[in-house]
Amino acid sequence: MIGDTAAADSKLSAVFKRPFAQQVAFFRGKLGHLMPTTRWTDLWKSQHDRAFMVAGAAKADLLSDLAAAVDRGVSEGMTIESFRKDFDEIAGRHGWSYKGGRNWRTRTIFSTNISTSYSAGRLAQLREGGFRFWIYKHSDSSIQPRPLHVSWDGITLPADDPWWHTHYPPNGWGCKCRVVGAHASEDVQELGGRLLDKAPDDGIDPKTGEPAGIDKGWGYMPGATVADALSSTAEKTQKWEYSLAKAYMQNVPAGVRDDLARAYRGLPSVADSARQYAQRVLSGRTNVEIKPYMTLGLLTTSDAAKVKELIGVDVERFDYAMSPSAIRHIERGHGDAASEAGRGQRAVTAGDFENLPAMLNAPDSVTANEGIVLVAKAVRGEDVTAAFEVLSRRKMLSLKSMWVKPAPR
């Protein structure tokens, strides 16, 4: 098992790198089925392919909040540190007395969902690629590597060998092993594999009922029941990275989608990301990678209805977003202290952008002016207004401007 250390946490991100289409499609496919549970065994093996659960999370609103927090890790590559900040806020707000220490529990929830979604997505890619041979790759991300997992490193068998039905990783709590494919036997050695005539038989562990080396409940192939569907779904992804932040939510029932959208904007990490995104843009550093858009979550059904009422445009399943160009535009138009003072306003700073998620979740008013949607809210005694324009081709309401009127003295 992974030890309770920062080193193990950092290795978690190193193993699974950046999210990819099939991985996100797998996890989003589970979000339409949020399953309240009392024990981790309430969902068993392949049932996890189609439903999301957190052991002991029996309240629907608690589960929605946790799902939104985990989803950031799967679809946006957020770190476990960000997840822990969200987890602490969610658990405190709901008064959830979860079992186990905080670091252990958060790592279990986060790593299990990251690793299973990664493996399910890779399975879809392996099948789609038609690889004849699969190669088991052990990861040394665990502080205490499992001896049998180490012994399986490099094992290469035909893709249809029954051994994979129980040994396709992850094979237990904290397992970071993975599988790579080879088209021909001559490619196996180059990929660090060793082609076997017969799969190893390590016996059955009488304590778990699983093959030796595999934790109880982990003797199955994550994603096997949905792999073919994942490949066809992933083909629909637009060819720009930002789409992963909102892709594959269309098939989630509207009520659940609305709950997840509100939960997403309620996460402390989303407010942090909005501020940090603006800070990177305003820093002017050209060597900093900045995504072309940052999502602020999907519009809810009621949000979309309000926008249609105001400007006559159907924005169902659009998301709120902001871009570097908008942030720079706001700085030019509302970033100078002297000019803003003349308007009875104050200069907008990077810190103001962190208020946007909460504003969108609970605005004081939503109006429109010449096709621009205006969202206003009192924030710590100041009146903040954010203007959004509809970008129909990208299915978003994109931030266009923002201004702040301080409270009268």
Angle between helical axes of 102-129 and 6-16 (0-180°, round to 10):
20
Residue 204 forms part of a structural domain: yes
Among 27-36, 134-143, 270-279, the minimum mean pLDDT is found in: 134-143
Q: Are residues 260 and 183 in the same domain?
A: no
* Res 140: pLDDT: 66
Residues 6+ apart with CB under 8 A from 30: 48, 49, 50, 51, 52
Write the pLDDT tens digit of every residue in 61-77: 999 999 999 999 998 89
pLDDT interval class at 3 (50, 70, 90): very low
Q: What is the pLDDT of the chain when averaged over all its residues? A: 91
Q: Give the H/E segment covering residue 384.
A: strand 382-391
Residues 207 and 300 in one domain: no
Residue that terminates a domain, selected from 234, 261, 279: 234
Q: What percent of the chain has pLDDT over 70?
A: 91
Q: Confirm whether 296 is domain-assigned.
A: yes
pLDDT at 264 over 70: yes
| pLDDT band at residue 8 under the 50/70/90 scheme | very low
* pLDDT the model gives residue 14: 45
Same domain for 114 and 173?
yes
Q: Is 243 domain-assigned?
A: no
Q: Are residues 258 and 230 part of one domain?
A: no
- Do both 212 and 273 map to the same domain? no
Of 174, 203, 234, the residue that ends a domain is 234
295 and 227 together in one domain: no
pLDDT for 1 beyond 50? no
What is the predicted pLDDT for the residue at 347?
98
Phi and psi, residue 105, nearest 5°: -70, -45
Q: Please answer whether residues 218 and 170 qualify as being in contact, where contact means their C-beta atoms are separated by less than 8 angstroms.
A: yes
> So what's the pLDDT on residue 4?
40
- Cα 6 from Cα 324, distance rounded (Å): 33
Count of domains for the chain:
2
Let me know whether 139 and 50 are in one domain.
yes
With residue 367 as reference, give the H or E element that holds it: strand 365-369
Q: Is residue 91 part of a domain?
A: yes
**Where is the domain boundary, 205, 234, 263?**
234
Is residue 222, in this structure, part of any structural domain at all?
Answer: yes
The confidence score (pLDDT) of residue 245 equals 57
Q: Specify the pLDDT at position 18.
A: 74
Looking at the fold, whether 69 and 180 belong to one and the same domain comes out as: yes
Name residues whose C-beta falls within 8 Å of residue 101's C-beta, 6 or more positions apart in sequence.
4
Mean pLDDT of 150-171: 98
> Residue 94 above 90 pLDDT?
yes
Question: Looking at the structure, do residues 84 and 185 belong to the same domain, yes or no?
Answer: yes
pLDDT of residue 248: 77
Query: What is the pLDDT, as a whole number, of residue 207?
Result: 96
Provide the domain limits for residue 35: 6-234
pLDDT tens-place string over residues 181-225 = 999 999 999 999 999 999 999 999 999 999 999 999 999 999 999
Q: With respect to residue 242, please indicate whether it lies within any of the assigned structural domains.
A: no
- Whether 139 and 172 map to the same domain: the answer is yes
Residue 239 in domain: no
- Quick check: 232 pLDDT over 80? no
The residue among 400 and 2 whose pLDDT is bigger is 400
395 vs 250 pLDDT, higher one: 395
Q: What is the pLDDT of residue 204?
A: 98
Q: 375 pLDDT exceeds 60? A: yes
Instruction: Specify if 45 maps to a domain.
Output: yes
Q: Are residues 185 and 47 in the same domain?
A: yes
Residues 266 and 225 in one domain: no
Mean pLDDT of 311-327: 95
The alpha-helical segments, DSSP class H, found in 189-298 are: 227-234, 254-265, 268-283
Residue type, 405: K
pLDDT given for residue 17 in this prediction: 62
- The whole-number average pLDDT for the span 299-322 is 96
